[in-house]
Chain A
């Protein structure tokens, strides 16, 4: 894609705001992107801390550190904080930073609303944390012991902390919907003149699809938890068979959201990879059109396979067969994306900087997680695996590479653009290796634990599971602490380091690399012309 760039410094009719107002009142996509990313980083550590307590408890059989209620509370909060607090905001942060720069837009389409979608998050996080701590105060009721899926009837019996959790979900949902509206409008309405939809950078495409998914499924979750709230406090019986309702109804509502949600977490990272891999292979992305097609297929089919999470609740044979076939079919377009990445690397002049290392690790490990997914998709097999540590291993193998590592890759890839400094490549590589090794030691053994019959979400376990659990907890310590290095790298790159060129990576292509590193406060005030 070639561009004619107009440098245009005289048209600065916006002052760069300063002080706390710059951040609290911001209408600038870069500042809001930074806020999102910092928020996500904070949540990553919060969620990580709860995971470390979980793994420390599971280090030995028996009950040592926490009591069973607190354990379940930690499991619930870990998942919710990571999904809604860390991964989704981080992806939204990347979107905020990069989309306007990539499509040659002066900012997001609705800048004030953009700020609102960010600032709802701290409120939601406060609610979420309240739901965790309220039971420790007198009169605070029982702890949340349902897991992140909030199934009734258990979630109806929990004390007032569940109400805080429900409202946290409402807030998080509102934030995601507003952010999605903004992203869709930006992508459809703000592209530089001449940029057709099918010329959009792939990261933009992945976010377009993600935003569609969010708008379609998040309201359903909000509706589901609203019914939960009414069942809890206002005497309705949506989820109570005695009143003609059905607890399984909640599961359908939850997973109608929950399964597309996994693609919501995955796709932005796929978008990042679609930039990282071509850059470091010095070849354009293989199969742009098929990539877009595959993504649309994943999103569409992904909307109608949700009940593979509920094989064991007693659906009809016809229903489970349908959901099984649908689920397995999804692996085809997902696999196609992976093959596109491999074909992009094929005969490329590859180098292995940190983002590229993450990309390759993602391809390997995500594929592995996809394979265990296909095992889980098979109904009779899943009857054995369901609610075991095997499921935990599966979703960590898809989510950690498929979402988190993709975001890491994005952060390393674009950090020079954002800060104007190159990060320390040696430290980056050390981080990569400790992270990857730690991750695999933590989660690989959980496959065996699950297959041998260890259930998930239980504080204690049979002594025969000890060895693998020790190994897993040991890996978790490496994995957990490796993130301190990430923190150090990010902070030191912000503060200084080798100056980054406008095109920080020699193989990088796209409008964002035409801008200075770091870019000026407002960019593309005059849209570039795409030829």
Chain B
């Protein structure tokens, strides 16, 4: 790319090796997972290699993007493209979560009552599972995984709710700082957000440990265990990703990469963080509370 990039031109990047490296890294990771879950020993190392390649790729790809951004190659229109792109990416994530929420809804509202003898498919119960009483939380007529205690809502989950809500506030505070070029407020806000995010993840891990050790609540605990771990686990994975993104943004803030009018990356991560926050509220209500 010659230096003749005018600021009013739409930026078209030069040919880049990172997409195809991305393909190799993702392929390697998935290959590794496929081998591991089928009991092939080398699988772990394949996953590890894939992860390394993936981390390297993310680093290099984003370094290119940051360089381009700092040398003002992105005009307003490019910025809008990025924003729209992030928006639709989050929209697709919403639907990913919806599939798990949908599964929870279906199992609780439709499938379980049938197994319990309700409705026009009630004969299922008579024929297959006589005497089974459907009540949520359930591990099904097969009593999968043995007796368990469901996770209460008002312990760690409630605390985690407060933590995430607070982190939503701190990142907004950081954003306000950024908008008036108050770098100190930006950095402090981000540090607080990252810290809260990490505390959340740690508490969540503690909660899992407690569930496995004391409550006998495992992935194998029938429909309840399945939906509980799938939803909270998928969310926890997103929080972890979000926290990593926040740390990257924090690093960039410390290098003074953002200004009041050029900070798409910050906003993208903030949106993502709010999205993760909202999903948590759904989880708190439907998985823990009701």
Contacts and interface: CB of A to CB of B under 8 A. Distances in A.
A237 B16 contact: no
A404 to B, nearest CB: 27
Contacts, number: 238
A177 interface: yes
Interface residues of A, number: 81
B84 A189 contact: yes
Contact of B111 (A27, A113, A236, A245): A245
Nearest to A140: B38
Contacts of A22: 15
B121 interface: yes
Contacts of B96: 219-220, 222-223
Interface in B1-55: 1-2, 4-5, 9-10, 12-20, 22-24, 26-27, 30-31, 33-34, 37-38
A115 B21 CA distance: 11
Contacts of B34: 160, 163-164, 167
Contact of A244 (B5, B27, B77, B141): B141
B68 to A, nearest CB: 10
A245 B99 contact: no
Contacts of A222: 96, 99
Given A243-B144, A245-B223, A253 B103 contact: yes
A432 interface: no
B224 interface: yes
Contacts of B84: 109, 184-185, 188-189
Interface in A229-244: 229-231, 233-238, 240-244
Interface stretch (B165-173, B190-198, B214-222): B214-222
Contacts of B4: 13
A242 B22 CA distance: 41
B23 A119 contact: yes
Contacts of A13: 1-2, 4-5
Interface stretch (B86-94, B152-160, B256-264, B278-286): B86-94
A330 B252 CA distance: 51
A227 interface: yes
Contacts of B229: 236
B95 A217 contact: yes
Contact of A242 (B14, B141, B226): B141
Nearest to B25: A123
A226 B10 CA distance: 39
Given A184-B88, A185-B88, A236-B230, A243 B16 contact: no
A14 B12 contact: yes
B143 to A, nearest CB: 9
* Residue of A190, A231, A237, A314 with most chain B CB atoms under a 10 A cut-off: A237
Given A109-B81, A236-B220, A243 B226 contact: yes
Contact of B38 (A17, A160, A249, A256): A160
B251 interface: no
- B contacts with A: majority SS: helix
A246 B111 contact: yes
A242 B218 CA distance: 16
B239 to A, nearest CB: 18
B216 to A, nearest CB: 13
Contacts of B141: 241-242, 244
A115 B223 contact: no
Nearest to B27: A123
B128 A241 contact: yes
Contacts of A451: none
Interface string A154-190: 0000001001100100110010010011101100111
A167 B33 contact: yes
B202 interface: no
A518 interface: no
A14 B61 CA distance: 20
Given A24-B17, A160-B38, A244-B223, A253 B88 contact: no
A494 interface: no
Interface string B100-116: 10110011001110110
A171 B222 contact: no
A316 B120 contact: yes
Contacts of B242: none
Contact of A14 (B1, B16, B93): B1
A126 interface: yes
Given A111-B13, A189-B77, A244 B224 contact: yes
B226 A220 contact: no
Interface string A193-230: 00000000000000000000001111110111011011
Interface in A400-442: none
A22 B14 CA distance: 10
B13 A182 contact: no
B219 A234 contact: yes
B63 to A, nearest CB: 13
Nearest to B95: A219
A501 interface: no
B131 interface: no
5 contacts: A188-B84, A223-B103, A226-B230, A237-B220, A246-B106
7 nearest A-B residue pairs (beta carbon): A223-B99, A242-B142, A244-B140, A244-B223, A25-B15, A235-B220, A236-B226
Given A231-B226, A252-B106, A317-B120, 4 more contacts: A25-B20, A110-B85, A237-B223, A243-B142
